Chains A and B, each alone.
Chain A
Amino acid sequence: MLQVETVVKSFDDFKAVNGASLSVGKGEIVAVIGPNGAGKTTLFNVITGLLRRDSGKIIFKGEDIGGLPPYEICKKGIARSFQIVNIFPRLTVFRNVQVAVLSQQRRSNTLFRPASSMVLNETNNILESVGFLDKAHSIAGSLSHGDQKILEIAIALGNEPELLILDEPTAGMSPEETSATMELVKRLAQMRGLTILFCEHDMDIVFSVAQSIMVMHQGRTLVQGKPEEVRNNPFVQEAYLGVE
């Protein structure tokens, strides 16, 4: 579904992503791992159009989406959450998600109809699936950090994506929140038939959830394969997992 081929992105002289490749099949859960500074977030930013790639190809459903602005890429069916909480803090939880649903339905420019009566069902469905119905009318900025990270995912779901990209969905969460969140992600993937691409530091999570793992090191792709293959790969053990 998504093919990333030898993408390069540099900031001045520093090559943050230096020939990364990635392949995500439909319905798969794919993880990207690598030490801090390996270029995972930059790679995600390049895929979603926040940053422009210097070279390489990003093929989504047979179409090169490299160089498109983020809102165009979103309309192709890729939604994302951010590593650092990136929500609409002054709006209610309900409206945070509703804005995305309205955008998905191409109704963001409707001028003279009250938004409070539009796309209620769609929005409430999403809130329900992440267990947020009771928080719908809280101001988003007042939620706990863990809840804000989940709201991140809920906003992304508002776009009815085919491919959901999660940049460290559990960053800053307690162990309990972390496992609950990953359960949620797995359940959403099943319920909605999502393809998921995520990156994560917790190896237990990665190896238990992901069906395919891509290892990045200094901007390059070391290897991509099934969890077992990755675990047994000598390069990976040396560079990242640490040989015991």
Chain B
Amino acid sequence: MFNEVIRLKWFGPSIVIFLVLFILPSFIPRFYTYILALIYVTSLLAMSLNLVVGHGGMFQFHHGVFYGVGAYTVALMLTKTSLPMWTGFIAGPIVAAIIGFIIGWFCVRLTRLYFGMLQISLGSLIWAIVLRWYSFTGGDDGIHGVPIAPFLSSLNSSYYFILIVLVICLIVMYLILKSPFGNTLQAIRDNPQRCEAIGINVRRHQLIAIVIATFFGGLAGVLFVVLERSVFTDMLFWVLSLEIFIMCLLGGWFTFVGPIFGAAIIVALRTFVSIFTEYWTLILGVILILIIFFLPEGVMGYFQEIFKPRTKETVKEGTK
């Protein structure tokens, strides 16, 4: 099963990148380590969304909710109960996936934009509950000072933890996309009607994809808590969801690693441009317009297009 990963052409380069990222915190200032870790968390979030958006063709407009639910679950468990930390880490993604199942169960009955509209409505409902249920969630104060075990509490150790979890998740997502399930999902994206006609239960397939994506979304929320040790209601607000959606488009939603680039661009912009101006979204807007005009397949899609002539044997599946 893992042969699939090891046989990849870019397996070697990926190992090098991973090693570089692994030793990087020893050489760069703490602030940059933090920003990198934040990029990883956001990357996982964007990657999880892209499972349903780019590969599944569903307009999951309010994915941020599952990020928030994962984060709140772990934060609440660690502050309100004395359960060990790892149970919270497991519960976060699972609760997110359960909420994902419930919301998804309604949404898969609709298509395209209607799917997206219902998704926003139901997601906003969760946001409203978290915001108003002051006694339980802390309302708009959020939850601060979530106790994280000492071995994860330093910035560097949380950096390593997040990086490793991200890499594992990327491998798992890659395997899922290359599996019959993933292939079928992409076929549904291309042509749901035809899929019904070849015996695929489209709604059920989409629902499973949503559950998987929201699981990873919740996991990203857990990683956020590891990094920040606090949660706030903005994580469930639709503006963040829109931002994640843009990351997918920006990076290239039909590519595997595209959303990572999208996440890196947006987090970097927000961090470094907002030093100069609070209107950083203005710059983002200009960049988005340029990308839509010149790189309609996203940054990663553009690079794939460039390198295509030299890697024509990439689609070699099934020739053995």
CA distance A113 to B179 in the complex (A): 5
Contact of A116 with B198 at beta-carbon distance under 8 Å, contacts A90-B254, A94-B317, A108-B181 already known:
no
Tell yes or no: A198 within 8 A of B by CB.
no
Contact of A99 with B187 at beta-carbon distance under 8 Å, contacts A110-B180, A158-B198 already known:
yes
CB 8 Å contact bits of A95-119 with B (1 = contact, 0 = none): 1101110111001111111111110
Pairwise interchain contact A88-B191, C-beta atoms closer than 8 A: yes
Closest residue of chain A to B185 (Cβ to Cβ) is: A108
Pairwise interchain contact A103-B198, C-beta atoms closer than 8 A: yes
Pairwise interchain contact B200-A71, C-beta atoms closer than 8 A: yes
Tell yes or no: B140 within 8 A of A by CB.
no
Return A129 CB to nearest CB of chain B, in Å. 16
Chain B residues near A70: list those with CB within 8 A: 196-197
Pairwise interchain contact B179-A104, C-beta atoms closer than 8 A: no
Return A60 CB to nearest CB of chain B, in Å. 14
Pairwise interchain contact B180-A124, C-beta atoms closer than 8 A: no
Pairwise interchain contact A102-B194, C-beta atoms closer than 8 A: no
Pairwise interchain contact A86-B194, C-beta atoms closer than 8 A: yes
Tell yes or no: A211 within 8 A of B by CB.
no
Q: Which residues of chain B in 184-202 are interfacial with respect to chain A, using CB atoms and an 8 Å cutoff?
A: 184, 186-187, 189-191, 193-202
Pairwise interchain contact A90-B176, C-beta atoms closer than 8 A: no
Q: Which of A82, A104, A109, A111 contacts B199 (CB 8 A)?
A: A104
Contact of A88 with B190 at beta-carbon distance under 8 Å, contacts A71-B196, A74-B199, A115-B180 already known:
yes
Contact of A71 with B199 at beta-carbon distance under 8 Å, contacts A86-B194, A109-B208, A113-B179 already known:
yes
Tell yes or no: A123 within 8 A of B by CB.
yes
Return B14 CB to nearest CB of chain A, in Å. 17
CA distance A102 to B186 in the complex (A): 13
CA distance A20 to B319 in the complex (A): 46
Chain A residues near B281: list those with CB within 8 A: none
Contact of A88 with B194 at beta-carbon distance under 8 Å, contacts A110-B179, A115-B178 already known:
yes
Return A155 CB to nearest CB of chain B, in Å. 6
Chain A residues near B317: list those with CB within 8 A: 92, 94-95, 115-116, 137
Pairwise interchain contact A136-B318, C-beta atoms closer than 8 A: yes
Tell yes or no: A37 within 8 A of B by CB.
no
Pairwise interchain contact A155-B202, C-beta atoms closer than 8 A: no
CB 8 Å contact bits of B170-186 with A (1 = contact, 0 = none): 00000110111111101
Pairwise interchain contact B180-A107, C-beta atoms closer than 8 A: yes
Chain B residues near A156: list those with CB within 8 A: 198
Tell yes or no: A148 within 8 A of B by CB.
no
CA distance A152 to B183 in the complex (A): 18
Contact of A114 with B178 at beta-carbon distance under 8 Å, contacts A82-B194, A102-B183 already known:
yes
Contact of A103 with B184 at beta-carbon distance under 8 Å, contacts A98-B318, A112-B1, A124-B318 already known:
yes
Pairwise interchain contact A120-B176, C-beta atoms closer than 8 A: no
CA distance A94 to B186 in the complex (A): 14
Return A95 CB to nearest CB of chain B, in Å. 6
Pairwise interchain contact B194-A155, C-beta atoms closer than 8 A: yes
Chain B residues near A80: list those with CB within 8 A: 197
Pairwise interchain contact A91-B186, C-beta atoms closer than 8 A: yes
Closest residue of chain A to B176 (Cβ to Cβ) is: A111
Tell yes or no: B80 within 8 A of A by CB.
no
Tell yes or no: A75 within 8 A of B by CB.
yes
Closest residue of chain B to A116 (Cβ to Cβ) is: B317
Return A44 CB to nearest CB of chain B, in Å. 11
Tell yes or no: B310 within 8 A of A by CB.
no
Chain B residues near A104: list those with CB within 8 A: 198-199
Contact of A99 with B199 at beta-carbon distance under 8 Å, contacts A109-B208, A113-B1, A136-B318 already known:
no
Closest residue of chain B to A86 (Cβ to Cβ) is: B194
Chain A residues near B205: list those with CB within 8 A: 108-109
Chain A residues near B315: list those with CB within 8 A: 92, 137
The 12 sampled A-B contact pairs (Cβ below 8 Å) are: A71-B198, A75-B199, A88-B190, A88-B191, A91-B183, A109-B181, A109-B208, A113-B180, A115-B317, A137-B317, A137-B319, A159-B199
State the 7 A-B residue pairs at the shortest beta-carbon distance, nearest first: A74-B199, A116-B317, A70-B196, A88-B190, A114-B4, A100-B198, A108-B184
Q: Which residues of B does A touch, CB under 8 Å? A: 1, 4, 175-176, 178-184, 186-187, 189-191, 193-202, 205, 208, 254, 315-320
Q: Which residues of A does B touch, CB under 8 Å? A: 48-50, 69-71, 74-75, 79-80, 82, 86-92, 94-96, 98-100, 102-104, 107-118, 120, 123-124, 136-137, 155-156, 158-159
Sample of 7 further A-B pairs with CB below 8 A, known A74-B197, A111-B176: A80-B197, A82-B197, A86-B193, A91-B183, A112-B176, A117-B320, A137-B317
